[in-house]
Amino acid sequence: MPYNPCTANIAMNIVADCEKPNIGGYTGRAVLIPVDSNPVIVVNEDNNHILTSITPAEGSKTIAVNNVFAEPFTGSNTASQADSGRSAFTKTIAVRIPLRGGAVSKDIVEPLVNNALGYIMIAEKKDKVGDGTYEVIGYQNGLKANADGINRDELANGGDIVATLSTVEPFFEVTLFDTDYQTTKEAFEELYTTNSI
């Protein structure tokens, strides 16, 4: 029996959509939700890689990240690794904190270092496609500050603090998506503005 490769069929399924080309990168806006605040997470019943909602516990504080006017999330990436003996993905994200002072140290920087369970981050992408616009990192295993992950050089990056967080998760990508882009955007904006520091 002759060998019939399925390459053409695979290519048809992964070809780029010329009507909606990918736009790479992040806007620089994100929300960090502490895992230890026990947020209520609703998972799409048809696809466990999609979260339809994340609701922080009442009274818990989230951290709103605004790197819009900085180079956002420099050095951020997702890469596969099999060090643990099974497939997993290392996710790294570097956030700039363009603030300073004792309140910033107490309320943002030190909690990033000291939170043992880490954070769930919802990061807004430039591509406004609906499912895929809001990436969720740390849902399965909280994002934690790297050992040398918080630093500031007064002569670089405008003196901003740079926080490098990472995690290892079994899913390559998890997204926040509910019904359509506009509904999801409204949910993100609510998280971004309510109870954020």
Q: What pLDDT, in 10s, does the model give residues 71-91?
A: 656 556 677 766 655 678 888
Tell me the pLDDT tens digit for each residue of 154-174. Answer: 888 788 888 889 999 999 999
Residue 4, pLDDT score = 62
* Mean predicted lDDT score pLDDT of the chain: 84
Tokens 């956030």 sit at which residue?
Answer: 95
In Å, how far are 96, 119, 177 from 170, measured between CA atoms? 26, 16, 19
For tokens 């994002």, name the residue: 143
Is 99 within 8 Å of 143 (Cβ atoms)?
Answer: no
